[in-house]
Structure 1
Amino acid sequence: MWLHASCYLEFKIPVDTPFLLMLRPRSGWQQWVGREQYVLSPSVPVVEFTDPFGNLCQRLVAPAGPFSIRTTVDVECAEGADIAPGAYFIEVQSLPDEVIPYLLPSRYCESDRFSRMAQELVYGWSPGYDQCCAIVDYIRRTFQYAPGEGVDTLSACEVNAKKKAVCRDMAHLGIACCRALSIPARLVVGYLETLKPMDLHAWFEAYVGGRWYSFDPTQDDMQGGRIAIAYGRDAADVAIFTQFGEAVELSVMEVQVQRLSEPPR
């Protein structure tokens, strides 16, 4: 199916401010970008590069005053994420080189502090995909999904001490537990067609059975089209915008996702 997604950001900039943006999804085997538009107002020079995780990143300097970014994209994707009960655990020595960084503790995913908890959560479950499901089930049962309350980014340890969290922080906990079991896991930021209330969304992927599979502790199932914008070890790697220097005000943020009845022309 085809999804049309858009993101509009409006800032109040006190002085000329360098920005690093991550707002362009890339085509891959799970999604195909058919058409996109990226508009800056006022228009400024932009330099694009690919970061170590394969994300498309844009560098620019926003001038003082009002500054806005509008992106729209039409993407072909599946109607729901693949599921694979029983997908096998891959021993570390047999993992591809490129997934090894997703085994290590990171700023918001302190996997070295979750070994005992993770083992308890997956006791009796088959190694691999089924263990990831056990972790996700625990997070869903234990924490209240509280969209819109994520002012501060929380690490897995901080989330584990609370009763509610946003999608990003719940994903951090899932990632930390997976890595504690030597299952590579990474954070994904993007669009989810069925998300309510609509916003940018975060979930995680785990590498089992020879490929990446999506897991989302905030949703009851994996139905609904998803558009991945960025991948990383945790939230520090996948911020949709990072500004440097004096603080700026994000005055407007609007996200929309809708299913298209036919492919874009």
Structure 2
Amino acid sequence: MQLNAGCELSFEAQELTPLILMLRPRSGAGQWIIREEYQITPIVNVTEFTDMYGNLCQRVVAPEGPFSIYFSATVQTADEIDVSPGAPYTPVEELPDDVLHYTLPSRYCQSDQLGKLAVEITKNSAPGYDQAEAIRRWIHENVVYQYGTSDASTSAVDTADKRIGVCRDFTHLGITLCRALNIPARMVVGYLYELDPMDLHAWFEAYVDGRWFTFDATQNQPRGNRITVAYGRDAADVAFTTQFGAMTLNNMKVWVDAVDIDNEEKKVDKDATLSASVGSTSQTGTSQ
């Protein structure tokens, strides 16, 4: 499916504020970026770099006063995610070097503290994919999804104790429980088609049988049509905006809409016919 997705963020900066932005997805597994648009108001200098996880990041300095960011993209997405019940556990000694650090505790994912819970949840599951799926299912069935019940300091240990949170908290808990079993797990942030309520979304991936698989504890069944924006160990690595100064987010709008392919194709055909009637660059190219 082709999706039009994007977000609009409106800030008020109380002072000159450096920012790191992480809003641009890149083509990769399960997605192809067809078109994208990026607008920053007022106009400022922007530099881009790729972080250690392969995410596209932009550096800007916001002037004092109103500051807004608009991003939209058309993306070809996979209608389904891969599932593989029974896929085996990958022994730590066989993990690729760049996957090893996803087995370790991190700021919001204290996997060294939740081993007992992880073992209890997965006691009847075969090592590997089935353990990760048992964890996803347990979180979905035992943790309540509710806005306003957590904040930027809430960790996986907090969520395991309170059994309430949002997608960020569900994801941190899933990552932590997987890592407690020596299954590499990472956080993914991006967009999900028909998410209700619509917002930027988070889920986790677990590494079994030599590859990454998607798990989303907020959903009751596997769902495709996702747009990945960033990967990391936990929320500290994948913030859409990181600010270094006094700045307030006043408003955020997020959208994910299906593209009407038939109408798009009709529009392209009409434009092509018009170009041909007056002489187009493609005609010139053909004649050369």
Residue by residue over 1:21-77, the C-alpha shift from the partner in whole angstroms, topping out at 9 and shown as x without a partner, is 000001112211111010000110011000000000000100111110000011111
Partner of 1:81: 81
The question of whether the paired residues in 2 share the 8 Å contact of 1:159 and 1:173 is answered with: yes
- The 3-state SS of whatever aligns with 1:242 is strand
- The 3-state SS of whatever aligns with 2:85 is coil
Q: Gaps (5+ residues) in structure 1?
A: none
Deviation, 1:84, is 1.1
Deviation, 1:161, is 1.2
Partner of 2:69: 69
1:2 aligns with 2:2: yes
Distance 1:260 1:82 in 2: 23
The question of whether the paired residues in 1 share the 8 Å contact of 2:22 and 2:240 is answered with: yes
Q: Bigger shift: 147-156 or 206-215?
A: 147-156
Distance 2:224 2:149 in 1: 23
- The 3-state SS of whatever aligns with 1:116 is helix
Larger radius of gyration: 2
The question of whether the paired residues in 1 share the 8 Å contact of 2:15 and 2:245 is answered with: no
CA 1:142–1:99: 2 relative to 1, 3 Å = same
TM-score, normalized by length of structure 2? 0.89
- The 3-state SS of whatever aligns with 1:195 is coil
Q: Bigger shift: 1-10 or 77-86?
A: 77-86
Partner of 2:279: none
The one-letter code of the counterpart of 1:213 is F
5 Å-filtered alignment, 1:204-243, equals 204-243=204-243
Partner of 2:121: 121
Partner of 1:104: 104
Partner of 2:180: 180
Q: Higher helix fraction: Structure 1 or Structure 2?
A: 2
Identical counterparts, % of pairs: 53
- The 3-state SS of whatever aligns with 1:219 is coil
CA 1:139–1:24: 2 relative to 1, 3 Å = same
The question of whether the paired residues in 2 share the 8 Å contact of 1:194 and 1:224 is answered with: no
Partner of 1:21: 21
Deviation, 1:130, is 0.5
Distance 1:147 1:167 in 2: 9
Deviation, 1:149, is 4.5
Residue by residue over 1:106-129, the C-alpha shift from the partner in whole angstroms, topping out at 9 and shown as x without a partner, is 000001111121111111211111
The one-letter code of the counterpart of 2:30 is Q
Cα RMSD of the aligned pairs, angstroms, is 1.3
TM-score, normalized by length of structure 1? 0.96
The one-letter code of the counterpart of 1:257 is V
5 Å-filtered alignment, 1:85-164, equals 85-147=85-147, 149-164=149-164
1:56 aligns with 2:43: no
Partner of 2:47: 47
